[in-house]
Structure 1
Amino acid sequence: MTAEEDKDGMSNFRQLDDQGRTILYDTDCIPQISSDWFEMAFWQKNLALIGGAPGRGTSVFIQTPVGEAVWRHYHRGGLPGKFVRDCYFWNGLNNTRAWQEMHLTRELYDRGFPVPQPLAAAIQRQGWFYRADLITARIPDVVPLADLLLQADSTKLQSVLQQAGKMLQPFHAAGLNHVDLNPRNLLVNPETEQVWLIDFDRCQLSQEPESRLATQNIGRLQRAFIKLNPTQAKLWLQWFMEGYCNSGTATPFCKKN
């Protein structure tokens, strides 16, 4: 087992090699970690599996020594996922999906955006390929927006969707391109209506906002609305955009809508 400071110079990130895995973890949150944290048997043995989250990949809730967390194993989607379930082409550690998501999520977290706190990432390389995992702190008392869309009454939905739009717009104003914006990546506290954005796999943060990318993100969200309920999707998007374009940080994209 060997450890070294993360090469990006972030003093609270430490890199560790253990049992064939390279691990990046936040020492402010996790004093010690091992490859066992990325093995299902470890959490089962310690009776620390406390639930799961639906989605393309395998996300489970775990009770870690530092609190509840979400452990996600990276899985391919679409047509490639039918043939290669969870392997990615190796192109250097800093280019792996888990490393990039760990750093991007941390940057957004440090800038005060409503995102989960990243705790640890792991890479397991096998020749020209690798597998990856990410652990983030679990946000308490939240449900996916998708669940509320199917359950809540219209008055509640209008308010929640407006809050979701208000939450997202500053991300776009900061230059974020969220490539998988959908109602399962928007988490809502039903009581307070506070909204968080999650899952930054393959996302990018540029220096300036780009209306074209914001339009693509919201178009993806609209298609997800249609899949959930074609008859309500237009109204849901209208409520979402009401909050989005009245967030106080307008962009050229808002002026076109």
Structure 2
Amino acid sequence: MGKTTAIAATRQPFRDERGQGAIVFDAARWPQAAPRWLDPAAWAPPATPVVEGGRGGAWFVESGFGRGVLRRYRRGGLAARASRDRYLWLGEDRVRSFAEFRLLASLRSQGLRVPSPLLAGYWRQGPAYRAAIVVERIEGASPLAACLDHPGAAAWTATGRAIARLHAAGVDHADLNAHNVLLDPAGDAWLIDFDRGRRRAPAAGWREANLARLSRSLAKLAGPGRDGWRQGFRQLRQAYEQTFHAALARPDAVGVGR
């Protein structure tokens, strides 16, 4: 089963050369957390860029809390033409890093396999802000993307179960793709990158949209004529349906089981 973890967030305002802002952090795991740790240049040993998946802006880091991933919030698509990393200020409750910290903490308390949030923060400058977050690193994990040519792998079943438990908990993952599903050495699936994730009633429409997004991601990575992953995805869907309906029947056990 996933480990149930209670995370109490500590908030701390600050002002530095980048602007006025605030951080929230898990003081039990990282009592020395500070705004400077949201800058990849501050780390020793040096922060190492994450090269696989995503739009860049992520680094592997290491400190007293263990190993983590620092991620700066960045836009993609057409929005990036206006600004790569600035977001309209709509109040602290709407800050993306804080929202992701809260959601991850809540999911950890339910025993779901997501990274523990360690530190989140923002810098405000006028009507805009920048944001970043540090979460724990899933040790020894590899992305579902690595299973494209292994349709019989147990990873597909584990992934279907993990997504089903997330959906049964009423969480819509805004960017469910083949790099945001990680398989650990024990064969368990973890879901990462919950920027813009939100809680909703578990309706079929958005659940199917999540799964369709994952399917498109796999198809894009595979390219034409490389269709072995489709068998794996059918296995994923079967595990998803079984686990989702079982979880709805036992809402107290959403985070339980493999």
The corresponding residue for 1:227 is 220
Counterpart code for 2:10: R
Equivalents in 2 of 1:11, 1:240: separation in Å? 31
Equivalents in 1 of 2:162, 2:9: separation in Å? 28
The corresponding residue for 1:3 is none
* CA RMSD of superposed structures (Å): 2.0
The corresponding residue for 2:93 is 94
Larger relative contact order, structure 1 or 2 (CA cutoff 8 Å, min sep 6): 2
Counterpart code for 1:174: A
Correspondence 1:137 to 2:136 = yes
TM (norm. structure 1) is: 0.85
**Residues 142 and 183 in structure 2, CA contact (< 8 A), matched pair in contact too:** yes
**Residues 222 and 233 in structure 1, CA contact (< 8 A), matched pair in contact too:** no
Shift of 1:149: 2.2
3-state secondary structure, aligned to 1:247: helix
TM (norm. structure 2) is: 0.85
**Residues 226 and 232 in structure 1, CA contact (< 8 A), matched pair in contact too:** no
Counterpart code for 2:204: S
Equivalents in 1 of 2:51, 2:111: separation in Å? 25
For each residue in 1:224-253, what CA deviation from the matched residue of structure 2 results, as whole angstroms up to 9, or x when unmatched? 12102243353232121021122263489x
The corresponding residue for 1:209 is 202
The corresponding residue for 1:162 is 157
For each residue in 1:8-64, what CA deviation from the matched residue of structure 2 results, as whole angstroms up to 9, or x when unmatched? xx9821111232331111111111222210122211xx2232452431141110012
3-state secondary structure, aligned to 2:130: strand
Unpaired segments ≥5 residues, structure 1: 1-9, 253-257
3-state secondary structure, aligned to 2:25: strand
Correspondence 1:247 to 2:240 = no
3-state secondary structure, aligned to 1:246: helix
Moved over 3 A (4+): 248-252
Q: Percent identity?
A: 31
The corresponding residue for 1:4 is none
Equivalents in 2 of 1:176, 1:97: separation in Å? 16
Note closer, same or farther for the CA distance 1:65–1:53 as it changes in structure 2 (3 Å cut): farther
Equivalents in 2 of 1:192, 1:89: separation in Å? 41
Note closer, same or farther for the CA distance 1:16–1:192 as it changes in structure 2 (3 Å cut): same
The corresponding residue for 2:124 is 125
Unpaired segments ≥5 residues, structure 2: 1-5, 249-258
Counterpart code for 2:94: N
Shift of 1:215: 0.7
Map 1:14-29 onto structure 2 (within 5 A).
14-18=10-14, 19=16, 20-29=20-29
